[in-house]
Amino acid sequence: MSSPASTPSPTSSEALPFGRLTTAMITPFRPDGSLDLDAVQKVATYLVDGGNDALVLNGTTGEAPTTSDQEKVQIIRAVREAVGDRAKLVAGVGTNDTAHTIECAKQAEAAGADGLLVVTPYYNKPPQDGLRAHFTAVADATGLPNMLYDIPGRAGVEIKSETLIALAAHPRIVAVKDAKGDLAGTTKVLANTDLFYYCGADELNLASLAIGAVGIASVVAHVASREYRQLIDAVVAGDLAQAQDIDRRLVPAVETIMTKTQGAIMVKAALKLAGVIEHATLRLPLVEATAEQTDWLTTDLKQAGLIA
């Protein structure tokens, strides 16, 4: 078992594997559904300019289920070209097939990724022994640090605390993107490992940071990077009142983006409203936001102070 984690507050962003502020980045498409690498680079630059230490590419918000392995490599290379070494690039490589995940991990490493996001295998609902074997095999396959993605709402199975504690012994399993919403379970893992936690549920960002998460892997940060940077910095500085104020001001944005329909749909609509992307195209089975959803989004983003 790894040694217990120290209090995260004095830890500099540079000393963390993926910094503190990370956005799970969208994948822009042209109106015909083809990959728009120019827009990919524009969004990446916009996010890094907004204070992101790292970008998660080819995740669920990046519509990874509908992009090919070749497109995923193109995205990593395009983002690296755009942002250079100003941000770490964490490549989503997880599938529900261990052999395919290993292949994707090796391709991401060769393309220049700095780390891997490995989601719990979905749909086939493996037992915990299977999860341990899967994550270990992927971590063994490259020299990159791994962030495990615990999201039972999508995967159908959780990574239990005992499994995370066991996996923390692997030298390349260094972090968790936590979208499980089990703060007590997170505390248990933090108390028994040196894993770095990144909150993967925007509604729990402040709560997760308060119990010891070192950062966030956000969807809403597409339009609130500067605000989340300020929130994180306030927590690190011990200014809970300022962090609470920012967190509460962002409630309308979190609710409209994460609860009105699927997150990638609303984030693309939000980026279009903000003038960052020209097209809000998604690949089926996802569809663009309706006029009613866009009206809700506009109202709530204005209320949160994120658009004029």
Q: Which residue has the tokens 């289920």?
A: 65
Q: Is 35 helix (H, G, I), strand (E, B) or coil?
A: strand
Asked if 177 is an active-site residue, the reply is yes
15: annotated binding-site residue? no
44-67: burial string, b at 16+ Cβ within 10 Å, e else: bbbbbebbbbbbbbbbbbbbbeeb
Q: Of how many residues is the chain composed? A: 308
> 56 near 216, Cβ under 8 Å?
no
Indicate if 149 belongs to the active site: yes
Q: Decide: 77 and 41 in contact? Cβ < 8 Å.
A: no
How many helical (H) and strand (E) elements, i.e. helices and strands, does the chain have?
Answer: 13, 8
Active site residue: 46, 88, 122, 149, which one?
A: 149
Does the CA dihedral 190-195-198-199 come out positive or negative?
A: negative
CB 190 within 8 Å of CB 6: no
Main-chain phi, psi angles of 143, to 5 degrees: -95, 10
* 184 marked ligand binding residue: no
Please provide residue 173's backbone torsions phi and psi, each rounded to the nearest 5 degrees.
-95, 100
Q: Which of 46, 72, 88, 177 is catalytic?
A: 177
Residue 229 and residue 256: Cα distance in Å, rounded? 20
Distance of CA 289 to the CA centre of its chain: 22
Beta bridge partners of residue 150, listed in sequence order:
178
Binding residues for pyruvate: 61, 217
Q: Per the annotation, where are the binding residues?
A: 61, 217
Active-site residue list? 149, 177
